[in-house]
A = this chain, B = another copy of it.
Amino acid sequence: MSSERFQKGMDKLKELTIADPNSPTGHMEIGESFKDIAPDLTRLVVEFAFGDIYARPGLDNKQKVLATISALVAQGTPQIGMHVVTGLNVGLSADEIAACLVHLIPYVGFPRVLTAMQVAQEVFAEQGVAITFNPDADES
């Protein structure tokens, strides 16, 4: 019986999300929309990705989200938006998320970063957050 791991995963999910009165898991896609193709996907995501991995000690939540975003930018994966929201929820600033994307340019190239920036830009607008620093202005 895996209910302990499921509970551990759900606790981590609540910690990562801002409570949404209509949903027990806030903004996170945890497989509910795939019930008809993989009925156990919610359980697998909550137990493994959140219970086993996200709840594992060793890194704080801000580090975990930065690592996740960086890996998805490198993959060119479309699901990055959800993780940008999580980043803001756990205390990463818009400045840190934006700086992370720019930092990856030498490693993954401009195209992958521009794709990610477009998604982050939309999330920032939806969430009403904005960057506050300007590297070029700071230099002058």
Contact = CB atoms under 8 A, between A and B. Distances in A.
A71 B68 contact: no
B57 A135 contact: yes
Interface majority SS on A: helix, strand, loop or mixed? helix
18 contacts: A29-B114, A37-B101, A38-B102, A38-B131, A44-B52, A56-B99, A57-B99, A58-B100, A58-B102, A58-B135, A59-B103, A63-B66, A66-B66, A66-B67, A71-B73, A75-B76, A77-B111, A106-B109
A135 B68 CA distance: 20
A135 B43 CA distance: 11
A100 B131 contact: no
Question: What is the oligomeric copy number?
Answer: 6
Interface string A112-130: 1011010011001000001
Interface residues on chain A, size class: 35 or more
A70 to B, nearest CB: 4
A122 to B, nearest CB: 10
